[in-house]
Amino acid sequence: MVNDRGLTVKRAPSWATIVGDMSQLRCVAERLGHPQGPDVAADGSVVFAETYTGRILRWDAVRGITTVADVGGGPNAARFGPDGFLYVTQNGGQAAQWRSSRQRTPALQRLLLGDDGTATGPPQTVLTGVAGVSFCAPHDLAFGPDGTVYLTDSGAWDPERRPDQGRIIAVDPDGTGRVVAETGATFPSGVAVDAEGTLLWCECYTNRVIRLRPGGVPEVLCTLPEEQLPESLLLGADGTIWIAGLFAGGIVVLDSRGRQIDLIETGGLPLNCVLSGKTLYVTDLGDYDDDRPDDEAQMVGRLLEVAL
């Protein structure tokens, strides 16, 4: 099968196939539109972006899915900052060939949430570009130990032409932005920062995981197999690297040297994940119908919960 990302892959087993043999995995929400970029709130609920609807959603075991905010465009990730705001990467309104009818300026946004967990107003724009260059399509974000927010500016997904140059951006707590790295046409996607300030990001076009130590230069930590196309990554407390491998059928776990030590099978097409103690939450693209138009927003995504 040649997928809409321009790669020939063997589709991973569906979630329904896997869950029959994995009692520790369950689907807690479904019929989602390209769910991405989850984070865990202080109350244990999971907040994430729903790209196709332009919304930021919340899931908890009591109320299920509720809306935090409608930001329009194409929100791609949501993370709570140390200042209490919820930060959002706004890609403008795109995902592969799909385009939103409510286009927005690509930006780093933030939301102030009220006591009821919903936004108190429209999103605030933190930044729309750096060094005189507007953002193409911000993808993921992570916070460093000093409160600096790092984001990947991936550009539009086009693995054949690869027209956009990727960048890693840092935004200081005072709102000043700077370019940390020019990645070339690699589609940098997931990003994470450890307690010492070492930066990691993954690249979808190259399948590489890149590491940048403080004061150093970017170095290739590892290159993943083609079927483990890295959509996102996070860091475990023990230094492990957890990668949502889009066509791997699960979350690929690497040690700190980039060697695979585990594969947490979830089935489907995992896009992103977040840890909450001994529980892993995975946003999954769902059982896409390859015969439907590439620009159609298929509302088949899921939020999965895995007991580790």
Task: Specify burial of residue 196 (Cβ count, 10 A radius: 0-12, 13-18, 19+).
Answer: exposed
For residue 42, is pLDDT > 70?
yes
- Within-domain flag for 192: yes
In tens, the pLDDT along 213-270 reads 999 999 999 999 988 999 999 999 999 999 999 999 999 999 999 999 999 999 999 9
- Within-domain flag for 294: yes
Cα–Cα dist 116/141, whole Å: 25
- Within-domain flag for 6: no
- Residue 132: other Cβ atoms inside 10 A: 5
In tens, the pLDDT along 106-135 reads 999 999 999 999 999 999 999 999 999 999
- Determine the pLDDT at residue 25: 96
* Assigned token pair, 186: 């690699």
Phi, psi angles (nearest 5°) of residue 141: -150, 155
- Determine the pLDDT at residue 20: 39
* Mean pLDDT computed over every residue of the chain: 91
- Within-domain flag for 110: yes
- Determine the pLDDT at residue 297: 85
- Within-domain flag for 1: no
For residue 66, is pLDDT > 70?
yes
Q: What is the mean pLDDT of residues 266-276?
A: 96
- Determine the pLDDT at residue 50: 98
Three-state SS annotation for 20-85: CCCCCEEEEEEEECCEEEEEECCCCCEEEEEHHHCEEEEEECCCEEEEEEECCCCEEEEEECCCCC
- Within-domain flag for 217: yes
Pairing state between β 94-95 and 98-99: antiparallel
Decide: pTM greater than 0.85: yes
Q: What is the mean pLDDT of residues 269-293?
A: 92
- Determine the pLDDT at residue 61: 96
- Determine the pLDDT at residue 14: 41
Compare 226 and 42 and report the one with higher pLDDT: 42
In tens, the pLDDT along 134-153 reads 999 999 999 999 999 999 99
- Within-domain flag for 80: yes
Q: Give the number of domains in the chain.
A: 1
- Determine the pLDDT at residue 13: 40
For residue 201, is pLDDT > 60?
yes
Reported as a pLDDT band with limits 50, 70 and 90, residue 23 is low
Percent of the chain exceeding pLDDT 90 equals: 84
Domain that holds residue 260: 15-307
- Determine the pLDDT at residue 87: 99
Q: Supply the CATH number for residue 38's domain.
A: 2.120.10.30
- Determine the pLDDT at residue 96: 86
For residue 159, is pLDDT > 90?
no
- Within-domain flag for 7: no
